[in-house]
Amino acid sequence: MQKKLAQNKPMIKFIALIVFGGLAGWATYAFKLDFSYSDFKDYGNTLLAVSGMVFTIMGIWIAFVYPNAILRLQDPNKIKTGDFSRTLQDTRRLEAIVGSIMASAFVASAVTGIYFCKLLLAKTIIVTAHLAAIKAFGIGFIAFLTAIQSVAIFYVIYSNYLFIEDLHVRREFREGDNDF
């Protein structure tokens, strides 16, 4: 039972993020919250900037800390398997880094898609007829993207925490060797 729950943990998190976005959209619609597209666009641009920052920083992390991962991407025959058997922490850190990159890439793509849809559909009859519902959906979706980006930022912090923790363990190990 516990193993099955652990396997479903990412799906549970994803569903929680969807529920969060849905509640934000529902609240926008139910309470008739109004906002302008320029406000929405400003916030979308902030999400794009944060996504780009996370994507860039964590990409540099992978290239610097895990050069074998980059070599494997360039030539899969060069390195047969990535060796993360030394510690589970290296694997967790790499998962956190790659996960934050994937989440940030998704957020950037989604915001770009929203802007593109707005460009194409803004003046259509369907949009003008259902503007309140579309605004509510937009807020719900941007809340969902905000939650995803927040999780990615958490994983950036978490992977840096693991790195610092690993540095302290290695330092203590070296100091212990020096005492002998």
- Tens digits of residue pLDDT in 35-77: 888 999 999 999 999 999 998 888 888 887 777 666 666 666 6
How many Å apart are CA 7 and CA 110, to the nearest integer?
A: 26
Least confident span in 49-63, 74-88, 116-130: 74-88
The pLDDT, as a whole number, for residue 59 is 84
Give the long-range contacts of residues 15-19, CB within 8 A, separation 24 or more: 17/144, 17/147, 17/148, 17/151, 18/144
The pLDDT, as a whole number, for residue 118 is 93
Tokens at residue 123, please? Answer: 């003046």
User: Average pLDDT, stretch 105-117?
Assistant: 96
**Exposure on the CB side of residue 178, measured as CA atoms within 13 A:** 6
Quick check: 104 and 55 in contact, CB under 8 A? yes
How many Å apart are CA 15 and CA 144, to the nearest integer?
A: 10
User: Average pLDDT, stretch 130-159?
Assistant: 94
Closest by CA to 138, choosing from 151, 122, 124, 154, is: 122
Task: Locate all alpha helices (DSSP H) within the chain, ordered by sequence.
Answer: 2-30, 37-65, 67-74, 88-121, 125-129, 131-179
- Name the residue ranges covered by the structural domains of the chain: 36-174
User: Average pLDDT, stretch 70-91?
Assistant: 61
Least confident span in 42-51, 74-83, 104-113, 136-145: 74-83
